[in-house]
Amino acid sequence: MSAPGTPAPARRAARWLPLAPATTLLLLFLAGPVAYCVWLAFTDTQLTGQASASFVGLANFRRAFSDEGFRNAVVLTVVFTVLSSVVGQNCLGFALAALMRRASRPVRTLTGTIVIGAWVLPEIVAGFLLYTFFNRRGTLNAILGQLHLPAQNWLFTLPILAVSFANVWRGTAFSMLVYSAALAGIPRDITEAAEVDGASGPLRFWHVTLPMIRRSIATNLMLNTLQTLSVFGLIWAMTRGGPGNRSQTLPVFMYDQAFLKSLIGYGTAIALLLLLVGALFSVVYLRLMRDEV
């Protein structure tokens, strides 16, 4: 604590002094690399075959918007995010949380263990497991064969749906935990009062449950969307963005351009555009949360 006679600038400096080490580390290991990546996005830097990089302005961004591969990656990223995050993880997580509240303790324990077990698996391990499930000679086709249903190579015919299902399988646990906590926080007397007033189950869900957990829904959607936008290892292990580019989302397209084709500047520009997409989603969700306060 500063002495009473210490000048105001010295007191302010003394308050900020404990934050100096953390601020220095953030600037060194976070802000520094981010600033360097922003610089790379405006250059023609390559991994190989280049003596020195030069500043190219917005050329990488103009190239991206005129690149058919980039536009395809944007569409697939939206499809992947909506299917596996906004619809899949969000809805399935809520359904599991609601059902587990009514289930017996052994059922809750078993379900929680299975769902959370999939969540804690490393992304690359989950990718290989789901690859063996959807492969032409995999588990899914074996089950279909036992049921005398037609089998197919799911990773070739429906690759974006296969990787979307894989992401739902791996990430639903987070939504389930968020909604379990949110539902547990709803006062029981409110739902009992609505039931006494004659409100049916769907009406109680729509007029009582949803309004009271809207902030949890928005928070879960925001976090799930940001995580899904950055999924790379799962898709790379299952399809490598193929066949062709039919499951090549933006992270996979960025990796292909930056490291397989050695176009670091162009790949970094795509990474910044992906960062912008995530920021736009975050602004929308934060706006929804603010409007509900």
Predicted pLDDT at 292:
55
pLDDT at 97 over 60: yes
pLDDT, average across residues 155-159: 92
User: Which residue would you say has higher pLDDT here, 122 or 202?
Assistant: 122
- Split at pLDDT 50, 70, 90, the class of 13 is low
Q: What is the pLDDT of residue 3?
A: 53
pLDDT of residue 51: 67
According to DSSP H, which parts of the chain are helical? 8-16, 20-26, 32-41, 59-66, 68-81, 90-102, 105-120, 123-134, 139-146, 154-157, 159-184, 188-196, 201-204, 210-212, 214-229, 233-238, 250-255, 264-291
Average pLDDT over residues 255-269: 93
| 3 state DSSP class of 7 | coil
10 — pLDDT class (breaks 50, 70, 90): low
State how far the Cα of 225 lies from the Cα of 84, in Å rounded to an integer. 9
Q: To 5 degrees, how large is the angle CA 52–CA 56–CA 61?
A: 125
**Amino acid letter for position 161:** L
Q: What's the pLDDT score for residue 41?
A: 92
Can you tell me the distance from the alpha carbon of 1 to that of 137, in angstroms, rounded to the nearest whole number? Answer: 70
Mean predicted lDDT score pLDDT of the chain: 86
Mean pLDDT of the 139-167 span: 91
Alpha carbon distance 97, 94 (integer Å): 5
Place of tokens 């609505």: 194
pLDDT tier for residue 107 given thresholds of 50, 70 and 90: confident
Question: In this predicted structure, what is the pLDDT of residue 50?
Answer: 73
44-291: which CATH topology? MetI-like fold (1.10.3720)
Q: Which residue has the higher pLDDT, 64 or 24?
A: 64
Q: Which of 101-105, 196-200, 235-239, 287-291 ranks highest by mean pLDDT?
A: 235-239
